[in-house]
C-alpha cells in the first residue's frame, strides 16, 4: 500500500510555464519533506513542513502543507530547464517516529 500518492507521475512543460505537483495521503503526517533528485545523483532536501497550513517559499518554489496534514503541494513559477528532475515527497507518519514514508515521485522535464 502506497501511503503517499504523488501526481502527476510525469510532467513535461515548456520553459516559463507554471506547474503544481501533489502529494496526497489518507493518513496524518507529523512532518513532510520534499526532495529533488537529478539524474545520476541522490535526492537533495528542498524543504521540511511541520505545521498544518504551513507555506514555505524557496525562490520560485512554493510548498504548502495541508491544514489536516494529510497532503502537500509544490508549485513552481516560471519553470526553468534547471528545475528538471524527480521530485519526491517523504513523510513522517504520525505515531511512528522511526519511519519515513516515500512517494514514488513526479518526474519533471522543462524544455527550453
Partner 1 sequence: EAQVTQNPRYLITVTGKKLTVTCSQNMNHEYMSWYRQDPGLGLRQIYYSMNVEVTDKGDVPEGYKVSRKEKRNFPLILESPSPNQTSLYFCASSLSLVPRNEQFFGPGTRLTVL
- DSSP assignment letter at 77: S
CA atoms within 13 A on the CB side of 47: 19
Smallest gap from residue 112 Cβ to partner 1 (A) = 26
Among 23, 74, 90, 108, binds partner 1 (CB under 8 A): 90
- Kindly state whether residue 102 participates in binding partner 1, applying the rule CB under 8 A: yes
Q: Dihedral, CA atoms, 104, 58, 71, 53, nearest 10 degrees? A: 170
Distance, C-alpha 4 to centroid of its chain: 10
- Kindly state whether residue 97 participates in binding partner 1, applying the rule CB under 8 A: yes
Q: Per-residue x/- mask for partner 1, residues 23 to 52, rule CB under 8 A? A: -------xx-x------xxxxxx--x-x--
Amino acid at each position: 500500500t502506497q501511503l503517499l500518492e504523488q501526481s502527476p507521475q510525469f510532467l513535461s512543460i515548456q520553459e516559463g510555464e507554471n506547474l503544481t505537483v501533489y502529494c496526497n495521503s489518507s493518513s496524518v503526517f507529523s512532518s513532510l519533506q520534499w526532495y529533488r533528485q537529478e539524474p545520476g545523483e541522490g535526492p537533495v532536501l528542498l524543504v521540511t513542513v511541520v505545521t498544518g497550513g504551513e507555506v514555505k517559499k524557496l525562490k520560485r518554489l512554493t510548498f504548502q502543507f495541508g491544514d489536516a496534514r494529510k497532503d502537500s503541494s509544490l508549485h513552481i513559477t516560471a519553470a526553468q530547464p534547471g528545475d528538471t528532475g524527480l521530485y519526491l515527497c517523504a513523510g513522517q507518519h504520525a505515531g511512528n517516529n522511526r519511519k519515513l514514508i516515500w512517494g514514488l515521485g513526479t518526474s519533471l522535464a522543462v524544455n527550453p
